[in-house]
Structure 1
Amino acid sequence: MLATTFKTRKGLENISARHRSLLAVNLHESACQIRNTNCTAKDFFHTAKLQGVNKDKTMLLHPQISVLVAFIWSLPSLSLAGKILVYPVDGSHWLNMNILLQELHQRGHKLTVVRSANSWYIPENATHYTSITIQVNHLSSLEDPKYMASFLKRNIDIQRGKGSIWSFLALQKEIITLLEESHRSTAEMVRVVLEDEKLIKTLKESKYDLMLTDPGFAGGVILGAYLGLPMVFNVRWITNAEGHFAIAPSPLSYIPTIGSRVTDKMSFANKLKNIMHFGIGQYIDHMLTRPLYQGVISKYIDPNTNVYALIQGADLWLMRVDFVFEFPRPTMPNVVYIGGFQCKPSKPLPDELNKFVESSGEHGVVIMSLGTLLGSLVPDISEIVASAFAQLPQKVIWRHVGEKPSTLGNNTLVVDWLPQNDLLGHPKTKAFVTHGGTNGIYEAIYHGVPMLGLPLIFDQFDNIIRLEARGVARMLDVATLDVDILTQALKDILDEKQSYQKNMRKMSSLHRDTPLKPLDSAIFWLEFVMRHKGAAHLRTESYKLPWYSYHCLDVLALIMSLCTAAGLLLILISRALLRACVRKIKAKKE
């Protein structure tokens, strides 16, 4: 079936370039509609032919071509029918991984998801994949929603000045401990998988075409390497840094590291800060992260390699990045950018919510959500937020769990859950108050909604700083937040005379203006790797070089040695000639 499908599609290559271009432009939307609806091939051909007439009356689509393409696209089972082993990361990372899986399933692929028995995001039973549940001895902190919510609130308290310097240092230690426990749990889980001979036999006999994983935690990387599968990453972060740092040149003079909170335009002090954060990250990676995985790697793969080298050896990187948001930087041929692939048009709101939104009139609404982990802020900040919202002419929809603030205004609707994408896509939505998670950021960019950032932890600060640099957001510090500061920031964001709205409309237009939707691009390249059993021709061999060879320090050392030797030789010859001349002069005088 797989080979037949490829031969059928390959036959399309014989079509003239003129027809292929017309097919690409005129049939893409209709083909996508067929895949997602019950539209018949006959309906598709009729629609495509009409599109051909409307787009260019001098060129009509060839009927046989239209029917063939319609037939291929309308039968998901013929699209590829590959077998994919998926090893995801829990939490918010799963949300966008699941979107990829749903699309892959719709195209006829068979998916197997490896999950922890303690997972709180990844369901064991689903219609679009089969799961393999692994029992592990202990619960990782990242898999415990109560712990994470408590951790975030403690972090806010310390930022608000309620903690001493010792509690601040304790929090930093807790962050490192949290990451250590999570990597340890990941290493333990993949060890359990590899020690299960029956499971490994089943995985090998299943003859998977691909390993799809998130390298933020390296369990899937190790399992994929052990099974010898072509590897594709759904990635932004690796075990110790942003993904580009593992595979592409990343000069620290203009590329910020995580936690540095600087832009690509750095002063001397910014560069010093950036280098220090990079050094700390490297230290943690070498002293903490890599040793946790090394035992498993040495036993089951190769004692002479490490987790970083395994990550660098991936065939393809589906990078959750769009350069309308990220700062420009060097890249590699095996990196495909799919930032915002989870974004989609909004759906109609539930009746009660829609009535509230429509009642906002010309002023519109403001949306506030701080992600899935933090349903509510500490009480004093909640009171500040409620007071600031009460002073706005806009209506406000606020995701807030727990006791309602006493200063809550009549214009504010508090909900336990909200359809974030659908609200952001509503024409009356004027601003989005967010913690700076990338999923919400890309949804806001897609729908053209400016943001007010209240970052709390990890990469959220860096995300909002990037938006500030683009002129589409404002960042506030919870440590200094008060009613006046928050109210003024909201008014600035909402003011049409300010540039936030205009800049965000432009940013949204740039984000949408692509020849292929990010999700379609991701699926194409996943299938590309399956068709060709890897993509080694796109991967550089730099990761196999020792660090001194990568930076040509060995060559530089040789050149410097030769230059030094030549210089010394020149000095010796000069001294000898000088002495000879001196002796000759003395001899003449005598």
Structure 2
Amino acid sequence: MGEERGQGQSTGKMSKHYSWIACLLSLCVISLAPASDGGNILVFPVDGSHWINMKPDCDSSSNSWYIAEQSPLYTTISLEMEIGLEDFFGIFLVEQLKAQREGASALTFLKLTKDFLKMIGQAHAIWCDALKRILEDNELVKSLLDAKYDLMLTDPAIAPGVVLAKYLKLPLVLNVRWVTSGDGQFLLAPSPLSYIPVPGSGLTDKMNFLQRVKNLLHYSITLVQQYFLVGPSYDAICEKYIEGGCDIISLLQDADIWLFRSDFVFDFPRPTMPNVIYMGGFQCKPAQPLPAELEDFVQSAGEHGVIIMTLGTLVHALPPELADEIASVFAKLPQKVIWRHKGERPNTLGNNTLIVDWMPQKDLLGHPQIKVFVAHGGTNGVQEAIYHGVPVLGIPLFFDQYDNLLRVQVRGAGKIISLSDLNGDSFEQGLRELLHQSHYRDNMQRLSRLHRDQPMSPMDQAVFWVEYVIRHKGAPHLRTQAFKMPWFSYYCLDVLLLLLAALCGTVFCVVALFRFLCCRNRNKIKQKLQ
């Protein structure tokens, strides 16, 4: 969703097809864990930043935003699409940015929500059409069956891979944060809305009454999204191609393992399930040396240090007038600045600011000279900032980015400037606050220590559980049976109804007996008086 490419790589030429990939585990995992067992995995990824979280080796040599068709790690089969991902999301993002700059209001919220739901519905419909073409290609399906894969690994933010796994009767491992209805945890584990904020609500785990009302309203939007806009597209495919029928929600809940791209250093505490493996920040690595020219620029900053700024893969540049204001703020500072900006060169650019098309984001964040990370709040970038202990000045643009940054802000490790409030003054104030108030860096360093202090690295955990599913041909013993219960049984309403009926029956019997005895005594008294 709002995750950005971890290396800050530039967008390549549009390739109007979708690559789904058959990987050999012995090839893609041995490079990470030499003692790992081999296996044959069918991978159905989501491109862009989500692919960074799917590809076991995160050191991609390609500058493309898209999955490379040639790689020593895997082979690909390409499927022609009617519209490319970047074209599709680009149209939506331009309108989103324009609406946010107009200012926050109920009307703006309704417009953004309407546009988002429309876009999501269309995106899933396009992918469902692509899945139909896969399932109707008899030769392709036969080759998949003959390959005898050990499991399917897929990102269910867009869920054709989930349906394909059911069709091929493969164990299913999800590399997940988002599912078709939003945050995957709401689909899998008990999620009391009293203290678990719905993505998009902009709330924390501490809510007053009105905030809980707001949280409930946002949750209702996710239900509309799932049951009226997204679900029907998948359910139609399930009914046509899956023996016995099914629905996308039940398929997701039946996944063997959920490799969840979060952890409780980043996220708020909440109930979970035994088949959820939290691997937040698993794409993070120790920093590598910078290219010589970039290292010279960074070292030239001296004791003042360096600020880096990037707004991720999808947004290349802010509006020119806003870019000019930001550039003028940078020019006032004693720090050096590295800014990933592909738009028109700002007129107010200072000598201390280096404009680049691409930056080695993870390596820069791990450099001791970096003082502040100005970012849009994609999951990858926020987790990398936590890993390296760099405070974040967040400018959320869309999707989950505000919620990601909020988790950093409430822990005192960053600050948010909404796009509607962004100008030269607010930007300068935010930067100076993070640069000169040491508690921001101290708090982020504390989060970094907490994140790193675990018995097994997130990547090793992910590898272990993928191999676990291969060894045992699934993990059904870790799946809860709660999803197979009707809603009234899940909440024990039938039991409560029975107990209520028994209580009412007992009260009725006692009252009836009491009335009978009273009436009998009255009759005896009347007889005596006569």
TM-score above 0.5: yes
SS of alignment partner, residue 278 of structure 1: helix
Question: Which among 121, 142, 150 is matched to residue 180 of structure 1?
Answer: 121
CA distance in 2, matches of 1:505, 1:171: 35
CA deviation profile, 1:434-482 (whole Å, cap 9, x unmatched): 1110011111111110001100111111111111111111011110222
1:479 aligns to 2:420 (yes or no): yes
Kindly indicate which of the two structures has a greater share of residues assigned to helix: 1
Larger CA Rg, structure 1 vs 2: 1
Q: Give how far 1:222 is off.
A: 0.4
CA distance in 1, matches of 2:302, 2:87: 39
CA distance in 2, matches of 1:186, 1:150: 18
Change (3 A) 1:520 1:384: same
CA distance in 2, matches of 1:556, 1:305: 30
- 8 Å contact 1:448–1:505 — kept in the other structure? yes
CA distance in 2, matches of 1:157, 1:209: 47
Partner of 1:99: 56
CA deviation profile, 1:156-214 (whole Å, cap 9, x unmatched): 22122279987764443221121011111121122111111111111111110010001
CA distance in 1, matches of 2:53, 2:73: 15
Partner of 2:489: 549
SS of alignment partner, residue 277 of structure 2: strand
Output the amino acid matched with 1:131: T
CA deviation profile, 1:515-549 (whole Å, cap 9, x unmatched): 11111111111111101111111111112112222
Partner of 1:86: 43
Summarize the alignment of residues 219-298 of structure 1 with structure 2, pairs less than 5 Å apart.
Answer: 219-298=160-239
Q: Give how far 1:588 is off.
A: 4.1
Change (3 A) 1:388 1:102: closer
Q: What's the TM-score once normalised by structure 1's chain length?
A: 0.81
Provide the identity percentage: 50
SS of alignment partner, residue 410 of structure 2: helix
The structure, 1 or 2, with the larger RCO (C-alpha pairs under 8 Å, 6+ apart) is 2
Question: Which among 450, 473, 482 is matched to residue 510 of structure 1?
Answer: 450
Q: Give how far 1:577 is off.
A: 2.9
CA distance in 1, matches of 2:459, 2:145: 29
Partner of 1:540: 480
1:583 aligns to 2:528 (yes or no): no
Change (3 A) 1:294 1:474: same
- 8 Å contact 2:155–2:175 — kept in the other structure? yes
Partner of 1:22: none
- 8 Å contact 1:217–1:239 — kept in the other structure? yes
Partner of 1:467: 408
- 8 Å contact 2:392–2:414 — kept in the other structure? yes
CA deviation profile, 1:8-61 (whole Å, cap 9, x unmatched): xxxxxxxxxxxxxxxxxxxxxxxxxxx769xxxxxxxxxxxxxxxxxxxxxxxx
Question: Which among 327, 341, 360 is matched to residue 301 of structure 2?
Answer: 360
- 8 Å contact 1:101–1:128 — kept in the other structure? no
SS of alignment partner, residue 371 of structure 2: strand
Deviates more, 1:144-153 or 1:401-410: 144-153
Output the amino acid matched with 1:449: V
CA distance in 1, matches of 2:105, 2:490: 45
- 8 Å contact 1:157–1:163 — kept in the other structure? no
1:134 aligns to 2:74 (yes or no): no
Q: Give how far 1:146 is off.
A: 4.1
- 8 Å contact 2:100–2:108 — kept in the other structure? no
CA distance in 2, matches of 1:321, 1:196: 37
Change (3 A) 1:535 1:419: same
Change (3 A) 1:494 1:157: same
SS of alignment partner, residue 465 of structure 2: helix
CA distance in 1, matches of 2:71, 2:47: 16
- 8 Å contact 1:232–1:526 — kept in the other structure? yes
CA distance in 2, matches of 1:148, 1:383: 26
Partner of 1:425: 366
Output the amino acid matched with 1:434: A
Partner of 2:466: 526
- 8 Å contact 1:433–1:452 — kept in the other structure? yes
Deviates more, 1:173-182 or 1:448-457: 173-182
1:402 aligns to 2:343 (yes or no): yes
CA deviation profile, 1:362-381 (whole Å, cap 9, x unmatched): 01001100100001011222
1:348 aligns to 2:292 (yes or no): no
SS of alignment partner, residue 457 of structure 1: coil
SS of alignment partner, residue 313 of structure 2: coil
Q: RMSD in angstroms over aligned alpha carbons?
A: 2.2
Output the amino acid matched with 1:90: D
CA distance in 2, matches of 1:197, 1:170: 43
Partner of 1:444: 385
Change (3 A) 1:209 1:515: same
Summarize the alignment of residues 194-209 of structure 1 with structure 2, pairs less than 5 Å apart.
Answer: 194-209=135-150
Question: Which among 264, 270, 274 is matched to residue 329 of structure 1?
Answer: 270
CA distance in 2, matches of 1:382, 1:289: 37
CA distance in 2, matches of 1:406, 1:424: 27
SS of alignment partner, residue 174 of structure 2: strand
CA deviation profile, 1:237-274 (whole Å, cap 9, x unmatched): 11112111122111111111111110001111111111
CA distance in 2, matches of 1:388, 1:589: 105
SS of alignment partner, residue 334 of structure 2: coil
